[in-house]
Amino acid sequence: MHISSPQFHQNARRAMADAGLQKALATSRPHFLERRANAVANLPEFEMLRDTARDIKNHTLAHLDFYLETFEQNVEKAGGKVHWCPTADDARDAVLRICREADARTVTKGKSMISEEIELNDHLERNGIQPVETDLGEYIIQLRKEAPSHIIAPAFHLNRDDWETQFRLSHTDLPADRVFAERRDILTEARAKLRARFLAADVGITGANFLIAETGSSVIVTNEGNGDLTQTLPRVHIALATIEKVVPTLEDCTSLLRVLARSATGQDFSVYTTFSTGGRRPRDLDGPEEYHVVVVDNGRSGMLGSEFQDMLRCIRCAACMNHCPVYGAIGGHAYGWVYPGPMGSVLTPSLAGLDRTKNLPNASTFCGKCESVCPVRIPLPGLMRHWREREFERHLTPATQRRNLGLWAWFAQRPALYRTATRASIGALKLLSGKRGRFKSLPMAGNWTQGRDLPAPEGGTFFARLAAAERARRP
């Protein structure tokens, strides 16, 4: 597993000094925020639909074993096969086995985060099978040998000229005088290159946004149509999905779809929402002959019944990272693993272990924006706080921080002393700040005052002001 989360601080510093990344973040982020806001404003029932979405997911998680078994029965009824995979290794092997049985040399791929998580492409390549990413953003980062920096917009960190540079490098047949003046020119070039790949592939691998127990279907949601070409043209379709993707019925899925696209790209509905159920039927003129669903656990079942169970409701819409000020400052790569932003800061420690990822739950201002936009109402800051508690319990917190926290706790447990001390320090700070009412630098807070002044406290302590307000209210 490639993970650079232990170097989060260095990563973040590098990201903030990366002019290209900062430009990309500044250009792209406002689009997401504005589009979601518009979509939500146009649907008066949106907040109620979030409750529905949360409830559907909670119901499913409480009966996950039942719905997964029902799903499998219905996949088999439709002529498909489910492959159960407890670990990433099992999932990689299952996919490779299916590809080998199909005598596959090239496979096309639709965007899938679980494929990134289990590092499927490396595994296929090592075994002589060439995986071709077909989502436009995934395609360029595959050429650049990078990881996605965002769960729905993998090339979020790139600017338009990066695309041109990469195409000139990788598409060796490209005439030197070919112009890429418009975004459309980039799109046309990628479309032409990938068309040939779609038609040549032996196996198509997609992810799944949902699995439907009622019908045994896997569902993909895309705008480009690449996922559909991936699963329609080759002889074999493999859908990769984690266990928590299952929902009971088409109606349940439909309710979740109503909040998914709006939260993700701010569309009312994505261009292609496609339900695949088994292989080609008698007399069908197209479609794959074989249909496989690789169902992966890889640590999810361990979250059930824990304080992190709520995280399994996630439908991967990316609203939390789009709205996160930390993500907005450092982008996705700095987080060091597959899942960035607030959802990653909760999920990554669950899947990769807290030892290597303890920086992530701390990479939050707890502003609460992520929770306020999450379509399935995951209490992300609360879950990050649980990780911080565990970090403290397991003595993973740095010594100085532990000492300071200990000191604060000692005071906080002695209210009278605490109030006296805060009163005294307010007074002292006011006095020391002089006429300007602010500090340009402070001992032990150098990092903080480097970027801004610290205003001196005004008025009394909270308790003093509360008491004064109550006195004023009484007749």
Partner 1 sequence: MTPKEQVLGSIRRGLRRSALSDEQAAPLRQRVAAHPRHLIPARSRIDHAAQITLFIANVTKEYGTVIRVGGVADVPGAISDYLASQNLPSRIVVAPHPALRDVPWHDRPLLEIREGRAGPLDPVSVTQGFAAIAETGTLMLPSAPERPTTLNLLPDTAIVVLQASRVVGPYEDAWDLLRAEGGMPRNVMFVTGPSRSADIEQTLELGAHGPRNLHVVLIEDHVS
Q: Which of residues 290-349 bind partner 1 (CB under 8 A)?
A: 295, 297, 301-306, 309
56 binds, among ligand SF4, partner 1, none (CB under 5 to 8 A by kind): partner 1
Residue span 86-125 as binding mask against partner 1, x where in contact by CB under 8 A, dash where not? x---x-----------------------------------
For the record, the structure tokens of 300 come out as: 């999810």
For the record, the structure tokens of 334 come out as: 């700095």
215 binds, among partner 1, ligand SF4, none (CB under 5 to 8 A by kind): partner 1
End-to-end Cα separation, the chain, in angstroms = 67
252 binds, among partner 1, ligand SF4, none (CB under 5 to 8 A by kind): partner 1
Distance, in Å, from the CA atom of 381 to the CA atom of 361, rounded to the nearest integer, reads: 9
Cβ pair 208, 245 in contact under 8 A: yes
Sequence-ordered list of residues with C-beta below 8 angstroms from that of 196, at least 6 positions apart, any chain: none
Of 183, 394, 403, 438, which one interacts with partner 1 (CB under 8 A)? Answer: 183
Phi-psi region of 341 (alpha: psi -120 to 50; beta: other; left: phi over 0): left
User: Which residues make beta-bridge pairs with 219?
Assistant: 210, 275
Of 56, 98, 155, 315, which one interacts with ligand SF4 (CB under 6 A)? Answer: 315
Do the bridges between strand 236-242 and strand 203-206 make them parallel or antiparallel, or are there none, so unpaired? parallel
Cβ pair 198, 229 in contact under 8 A: yes
Binding residues among 115-174 for ligand SF4 as defined by CB under 6 A: none
Query: Least distance to ligand SF4 from the beta carbon of 88, Å?
Result: 20
Q: Is residue 27 part of the contact set for partner 1 (CB under 8 A)? A: yes
Query: Least distance to partner 1 from the beta carbon of 194, Å?
Result: 7
Using the minimum distance from each CB to partner 1, give the nearer residue, 121 or 222.
222
Tell me how many residues contact ligand SF4 (CB under 6 A): 13
Of 172, 173, 176, 284, which one interacts with partner 1 (CB under 8 A)? Answer: 284
Stretches 71-79, 109-117, 268-276, 312-320: which one binds ligand SF4 (CB under 6 A)? 312-320
Distance, in Å, from the CA atom of 23 to the CA atom of 265, rounded to the nearest integer, reads: 20
Query: Least distance to partner 1 from the beta carbon of 228, Å?
Result: 5
Q: Is residue 253 part of the contact set for ligand SF4 (CB under 6 A)? A: no
Query: Least distance to partner 1 from the beta carbon of 400, Å?
Result: 37
User: Which residues make beta-bridge pairs with 293?
Assistant: 82, 239
Where do we find the tokens 């709205």? 323
Cβ pair 288, 204 in contact under 8 A: yes
Query: Least distance to partner 1 from the beta carbon of 396, Å?
Result: 24
Binding residues among 351-410 for ligand SF4 as defined by CB under 6 A: 374-376, 378
Distance, in Å, from the CA atom of 207 to the CA atom of 238, rounded to the nearest integer, reads: 8
Where do we find the tokens 């074999």? 236
Q: Under the rule (CB under 6 A), what is the footprint of ligand SF4? A: 263, 314-320, 343, 374-376, 378
